[in-house]
Structure 1
């Protein structure tokens, strides 16, 4: 029997194993064949009820797809999250793409404060890409959610692909499938063909989108970064790490030995240095609380799950322990909590960042 594939996530459809990728009841499959809309049960529930069913792909599955990219002659479109660049870089991507041309797309540009110049963000992304060993033909900024610069992106892809296939790659939660849906809608008028959500790992196998000249755009599964905050949050709390609106930075004038709590998810300590301003860039709904460093441990133990949320009281027991990362800075620097946001510090200062065990904390040249 000919294999059938879910048009939402790319998984091969099957009717026998409900806990495996591509499962759909036989009756739903028959209806899908009649209507031409073949979706697995997971995509159907996600699209209509925002309900996620866990289906896991192994790291080997992702590596296999990356090797396919390297073995092809194609244009590679790497989508990264401007809000979380370090957490959205695919380790060793330059090695996997094996000399294929690369177009770098910074998504979610609409959440940056409007005062930030586009040219500066593009330059910043170019510099960060070079640090990762990537040398893109061009760097573009888009907003999949607000459909900003979609026509420009389509034109750039058409120019750079030169008749070749296109592979769209990225880690989970960068908005890759939403971006492709926006492109499909611009080209054909069809809406939300590919399943997209804020849940990590929505696309399960590569999805083929035919082009007029016989080539294809391939949407690939999001590569899972284990050190992203998304993998430690409940479904209802993912909204705190996926801003949908322009960030409203909050600046705190801190003295040494003061602490900022980022909800109950993370913590920032100003240990030593002259009084100075620290600017926080997080989802506008995430509540920040200031306290004295000397009382911070007790404050967290008492208030996590109540005053300090997320996580809520029911989730505290399962939430990972916060791990301390100490550092010194001498100049204006972003201190990034992978997948959550960042704090810009002017320095010089001695600082500590606390994040859930397994979540990366990195420093970078200030974006703003």
Structure 2
């Protein structure tokens, strides 16, 4: 089939324009697969086909500029913007300067993956905290919503809120990579049209390659956009196996550690927490249940890491240790109930005055915030 005839055919998984010439390029599919897809009305690029059937992720070469250029055009539209963030990695999933890209369009801030947070976390407290953080970066959401793509009743509630604010306009769904944006849209499609897994989803960054338009009943569109890549997200330093360990899929079970000053906790081999100064105290860790936590003496912690990274301390895996960024130290003097947050990994809650340090891969943030729980 000639390339001219393919111009308007897009992969229904990721939105890329289908092409049959360049095996390494976006939207490639073999001629035989294209013909079969045209017969069934479901055309997928080879990358999405392999992702759907074999969970095989293929790297995509797109620049941050490509994503930003697409986002920039939204400001010229009259639309409702639904900004999806990962509650578990809120700071890592904010889009810097989003308010500058979207013009005067109204925004809903949607915190996804609420199902993995401990039930002890009160929703009202979390939504208020999210609103305050959004205001700090210049975003003024009409409403802050907590949701889970896994729960149909949550999807119904989200749809009602979207309908309330869109007022006959298109809806653009935006977010950084890995916040569960496409999974959320699949859940919306399933609840409105009974169509399952139309958009390609995976745990891995960069699945949606171009905007995908899903028709709404009134002739307008729900538009899924590519995730903007944040190079300081923990996900960008992890292999496929490790991503499955780090990204929680079930409710997190907090673990409590009684520590004396001069002790260290390792969160796998991805992060480190030092208790430098203070009275014996309890520290509560909130990370994926699949991450092993190890305690050691602070004075021997660096030596312990050098010896056990990729072995006792995983992730990263042994064959990835040589490429894994060095851990960088952030020190904090704590005077009130505080969370020390390791972006994309989780947090440790402190309830007594002390001096601590958090270590994370170079480029990944360690920040403090007022304790959420």
Q: How many residues align?
A: 368
Of 275, 278, 301, which residue of structure 2 is paired with 1:273?
Answer: 278
- Equivalent position SS for 1:149: helix
| 2:167 matched residue in structure 1 | 162
Please give the TM-score of this superposition, normalised by the length of structure 2: 0.96
2:332 aligned with 1:334, yes or no? no
Deviation at 1:319, TM superposition (A): 1.4
State yes or no: 1:58 paired with 2:63: yes
2:22 paired with 1:14: no
Between the aligned partners of 1:251 and 1:54, the Cα distance in structure 2 is: 38
Which residue does 1:239 correspond to in 2? 244
**More off after superposition, 217-226 vs 122-131:** 122-131
CA contact (8 A) 1:241 1:341 kept: no
5+ residue gaps in structure 2? none
Q: Give the Å deviation of 1:307.
A: 1.0
Question: What residue is the counterpart of 2:40 in the other structure?
Answer: 35
- The Cα shift of 1:346 comes to 2.2
- Deviation, structure 1 residue 115: 2.1
Q: Does structure 1 residue 354 correspond to structure 2 residue 359?
A: yes
Partner of residue 212, structure 1 = 217
Q: Deviations over 1:195-250 (max 9, x none)?
A: 01100110000000111211111100011111011000110110122101000001
Find the counterpart in structure 1 of residue 184 from structure 2.
179
Listed as ranges, the matches of 1:1-368 within 5 Å are: 1=5, 2-368=7-373
Contact 1:142 / 1:148 at 8 angstroms: preserved in 2?
Answer: no
Aligned-residue CA RMSD (Å): 1.1
| Deviation readout 1:172-204 (Å, 9 max, x if unpaired) | 111000000000000000000000110011000
CA deviation map 1:81-133 (0-9, x unaligned): 11010001000011111121001111000011112222222222222222222
Q: Distance in 2 between matches of 1:329 and 1:185?
A: 46
Q: CA deviation at 1:293?
A: 0.2
Q: Is the 8 A contact 2:121 2:372 kept in 1?
A: no
**In the aligned structure 2, how far is the partner of 1:206 from the partner of 1:334?**
36
Aligned to 2:139, the other structure's residue is in SS state: coil
The whole-number CA distance in structure 1 between the counterparts of 2:302 and 2:206 is 34
